[in-house]
Amino acid sequence: MPQGKIKPLSVRYGLGISDHDSEGRLLTAEFESFYLLSGYVPNSGDGLKRLELEKSKPVILTGDLNCAHQEIDIHDPAGNRRSAGFTDEERQSLEKNFLSKGLWIALENNTLVLLAILTGWRLDYFLVSESIADKVHDSYILPDIGGSDHCPIGLVLKL
């Protein structure tokens, strides 16, 4: 669990649906004024149904979405057009299931985009409800934390 200045009211692991829990990982932390979701989404369009999000509070979804959203988010987009994680179908699915449902990519940060262009793929995101998109103050990478092929990301909100 990320260490911060505020503590969650509750934390839940998984979806409670065995078929989905075996495919990916999800952590839901409830705070006083928002939900924070962190997840791993299987790539290549496994057909998982869209989660029905609570409408009582804004949502922050973070994690490895296994999809480079735009060409600027990937090294060599032309050469990877048919690669899992950058297919037209996956990119359209990200748009349809998240971005067209009122979730916004939190702050398109030039540092994150530059990292993807120079070295690989941008697959990790913070998506926030439209109602708090204007509260996003910063997003950043934590390049000194190793242990994975991903670079951890951070988000600062002014709630």
* N-term to C-term CA, the chain: 20
Is residue 150 annotated as involved in ligand binding? Answer: yes
Pairing between β-strand 124-129 and β-strand 59-64 as defined by DSSP bridges: antiparallel
So which residues are the catalytic ones?
40, 64, 150
**In angstroms, what CA-CA distances link 49 with 41, 57, 65?**
12, 21, 14
- CB 151 within 8 Å of CB 141: yes
Is residue 149 annotated as involved in ligand binding? Answer: yes
Closest to 62 in 3D by CA, of 16, 115, 111, 107: 107
Is residue 134 annotated as involved in ligand binding? Answer: no
- CB 136 within 8 Å of CB 155: yes
Q: Give the whole-angstrom CA distance, residue 44 versus residue 90.
A: 6
Is residue 69 annotated as involved in ligand binding? Answer: no
Q: Which residues contact 113 (CB under 8 A, 6 or more apart)?
A: 72, 73, 122
Binding residues: 64, 66, 149-150
Question: Which parts are annotated binding residues for Mg(2+)?
Answer: 64, 66, 149-150
